[in-house]
Amino acid sequence: MSTIKPPILLLLVLFMFSACQHDIINSPNAVIPDTTIIVTPPVGGGGNSNLASDTVCFNSEILPLYSSYCGSAGCHDISSHREGVILTDYARIMNGIKAKQPNNSAYYTIIGHGMPPRNSPQMTTANLATIKKWIDQGALNTKCTNVCDTTVFTYAGAVQTIISNNCGGCHGAKPGTANVYLGDYASTKAYITANPTIFSNAINYKATTASKNMPQSGKMVACKITQIEKWIKNGFPQ
């Protein structure tokens, strides 16, 4: 797997034990090429043939997790940047990620160990596995545009994960930011049924106030919006 020689590995391990968490987090950024790699779709045959069929997409899988669970207002967004940490774009997320070295990636290892704060919504083990896989694959700025199966639009089959990954950090625990709670099937259905236009405008980036476009860090990829809309149109299938 890794080409790191044992003595260097030992040094890295010693460094990890000797440095406190904040030293690791604020350590100077290694030079990471910020090249966007378009993957459309990331399945065999299509798009960039150098990439494996299971390439994790930074734009649609990783950024939403960091933005939602770490990048909310008052925490690690552009204007709050608590402890100098901003987690709402690729370059800044890479300040705490070492490609192919998840265990040396402070922004990976800290998840579930102090961050997000204990009373905030937490990422799932599936979320952590996705982040680890992305780091193992080289932590590339992969941008996928057409990566979901829009024939699948049940809550359990698609919508639950989309909402949890993209909205869960702010609306996944009661009462939810702005009193919008989207943490389970019944509550999500009830909110959308009562506020169909507000919800639709929010996810389509058509809200009259920019701050009400959701998620605020950037519009979801089109096929995920389609899956949510089909779910609503078809009567919220479980």
Residues in the chain: 238
Rg (CA), the chain: 19
Scanning residues 69 to 128, which ones bind ligand HEC (CB under 6 A)? 71-73
Question: Tokens 């204007």 correspond to what residue?
Answer: 79
Do the Cβ atoms of 62 and 50 come closer than 8 Å?
no
Q: Rule CB under 6 A: say whether 219 interacts with ligand HEC.
A: no
Q: Rule CB under 6 A: say whether 169 interacts with ligand HEC.
A: yes
Q: How far apart are CA 57 and CA 34, in angstroms?
A: 14
Task: Print burial letters for 127-151: b (CB count within 10 Å at least 16), e (below 16).
Answer: bbebbbebbebebbbbbbbebbeee
Q: How far apart are CA 180 and CA 171, in angstroms?
A: 6
Phi, psi (deg, nearest 5) at residue 160: -55, -45
Question: Tokens 């800044």 correspond to what residue?
Answer: 92
Total residues in contact with ligand HEC, by rule CB under 6 A: 25
Using CB under 6 A, pick the residue from 134, 199, 231, 236 that binds ligand HEC.
199
Using CB under 6 A, pick the residue from 99, 128, 198, 232 that binds ligand HEC.
198
CA angle, 203 as apex, 202 and 205 as ends, to 5°?
65
Query: At its nearest, how many Å lie between ligand HEC and the CB of residue 93?
Result: 15
Longest dimension (CA), the chain: 61
Question: Tokens 């030992």 correspond to what residue?
Answer: 10
Q: Rule CB under 6 A: say whether 204 interacts with ligand HEC.
A: no
- Annotate each residue in 15-54 with x if it binds ligand HEC (CB under 6 A) or - if it does not, as one string: ----------------------------------------
* Site stretch for ligand HEC (CB under 6 A), options 16-24, 42-50, 65-73, 138-146: 65-73
Using CB under 6 A, pick the residue from 63, 93, 159, 170 that binds ligand HEC.
170
Which residue is at the shortest CB distance from ligand HEC? 167
Scanning residues 175 to 194, which ones bind ligand HEC (CB under 6 A)? 177-178, 180
Query: At its nearest, how many Å lie between ligand HEC and the CB of residue 162?
Result: 7
Could you list the residues that contact ligand HEC (CB under 6 A)?
67-68, 71-73, 166-167, 169-171, 177-178, 180, 198-199, 202-203, 207, 209, 211-212, 214-216, 220
